[in-house]
Amino acid sequence: MKKVILKIDKKNIPIFIGDHIITKIDFSKYIKGNDVVIITNKVLAKLHLDKLKKSFKKFNLNTFVLPDGEKYKDINSFTKIHDFLIKNKYGRDLTVIAFGGGVIGDLASFSADTFLRGVNLIHIPTTLLAQVDSSVGGKSGINHSLGKNLIGSFKHPEVIIMDTSYHKTLPKKEFVSGIAEVIKYGIIGSKTFLKWLNTNAESILMKKNEYLVKLLYASVKAKSQVVQKDEKESGIRAYLNYGHTLGHAIESSKKYKGILHGEAVSIGMTFASFISAEKSTLSIEEFNLIENTLIKFGLPVSIPHNIPCAKIIKHIDFDKKKKQGKNNFVLLNSIGKCYITNSLDIKYIEKLVKSFQN
């Protein structure tokens, strides 16, 4: 079993990584009282909940099961969770377990942060995206009808458990979508890691355990190092948004249907890398390594032709309004060396979006 420590708010948060580790963790170290509530969805409840429950035999355990899907990451589910916790008369010594992908992680952590002004939280992420990204760094939240992730907080867990055995049931498309965020850590932080991903794409796609453990360890370490330096995103945490300006615009244009987050980010990262090669000092050789790695994992690198360019530009402009009138793009001087620019002309972006459509 591998371990990374995330040091934040004078707190040391252990992150455990390994195969079938869920039964090997002594949860009593991370649980204050006797009450534990697992928050999950119907898919996970059917596949993995019975086994997980065995790890909490010593405690007064309850479960709250939501329907599956991003549309349930909303105020309605949030209220239902609070109704359940209040009706069951839980106190401040409650521990909430977020058991699922990023949707459950964001919703359960926001609920844990707001119930009685904050109770204990444990993350057990079950998708690759949730393991390498959403469970690490404390961002919690729900969607508003006017936009994604508009309501939320920073809430860190007591411990994060990354069990690679959950990948066996994860659909390939979801797994590959998570890989985009893993590739991102290579692009923004380490050419050696990016090259390793490129060389070992086949073994990773076969979900060989030693490869999964290595990529989880490298990703979690990379994210922890950024979050430790800039928890509230006033500086370098924004580098984690590499490829996300266009990625979010594509997702919003498609109303979050028919494209997964990682797929949109993959297109966005290719786009940002192309701009970096045109406007900065990213070499063609490094651009090719980035694009080729994404392609090797079966990720898209061009914008679907059926999304009108005007829609994408409108969403990039909406993003700009949220950021005090500036189009913030994260670009590269070289692999591992990011910077943020707000000086890209919208006409230039528009022309490039058109040329990126397949």
Q: What is the closest distance, in whole angstroms, from the C-beta atom of residue 44 to ligand NAD in the complex? A: 6
Residue 241 among the catalytic residues: yes
Q: Please, which of residues 289-308 interact with ligand NAD by CB under 6 A?
A: none
Residue 70 among the catalytic residues: no
Q: What is the closest distance, in whole angstroms, from the C-beta atom of residue 334 to ligand NAD in the complex? A: 26
Residue 34 among the catalytic residues: no
Q: Please, which of residues 229-258 interact with ligand GLY by CB under 6 A?
A: 237, 240
d(CA 116, CA 66): 21
First to last CA, the chain: 43
The verdict on 230 binding ligand NAD (CB under 6 A) reads no
Q: What is the closest distance, in whole angstroms, from the C-beta atom of residue 237 to ligand GLY in the complex? A: 5
Residue 223 among the catalytic residues: yes
The verdict on 129 binding ligand NAD (CB under 6 A) reads yes
The verdict on 272 binding ligand GLY (CB under 6 A) reads no
d(CA 10, CA 191): 31
CB 14 within 8 A of CB 5: yes
Q: Please, which of residues 94-133 interact with ligand GLY by CB under 6 A?
A: 133
Give the type of residue at 221: K
Q: Please, which of residues 153-192 interact with ligand NAD by CB under 6 A?
A: 166, 169-170, 174
Give the type of residue at 138: G
Query: How crowded is residue 333: how many other Cβ atoms within 10 Å of its Cβ?
Result: 12
d(CA 136, CA 159): 10
Is 303 exposed, middle or buried, given 0-12, 13-18 or 19+ CB atoms closer than 10 A? buried
Q: Please, which of residues 46-85 interact with ligand NAD by CB under 6 A?
A: 47, 68, 70, 73
The verdict on 73 binding ligand GLY (CB under 6 A) reads no
- One residue of 30, 90, 139, 338 binding ligand NAD per CB under 6 A: 139
Residue 181 among the catalytic residues: yes
The CB-based long-range contact list for 275-280 (8 Å cut-off, 24+ gap) reads 275/329, 275/331, 275/344, 275/352, 276/331, 276/332, 276/333, 279/331, 279/344, 280/331, 280/332, 280/333, 280/339
- One residue of 36, 130, 188, 301 binding ligand NAD per CB under 6 A: 130
The verdict on 103 binding ligand NAD (CB under 6 A) reads yes
Residue 248 among the catalytic residues: yes
CB 159 within 8 A of CB 122: yes
> 11 or 354: whose CB is closer to ligand GLY?
11
Q: What is the closest distance, in whole angstroms, from the C-beta atom of residue 241 to ligand GLY in the complex? A: 6
Residue 37 CA from chain centroid, whole number? 23
The verdict on 268 binding ligand GLY (CB under 6 A) reads no
DSSP string, 201-242: HHHHHTT-HHHHHHHHHHHHHHHHHHHHH-TTSSSGGGGGGT
Give catalytic residues, as residue numbers: 117, 139, 181, 223, 233, 237, 241, 244, 248, 261
Contact set with ligand NAD (CB under 6 A): 41, 43-44, 47, 68, 70, 73, 100-104, 106, 126-127, 129-130, 133-134, 137, 139, 149, 166, 169-170, 174, 261
Q: Which residues bind ligand GLY (CB under 6 A)?
A: 133, 137, 139, 237, 240
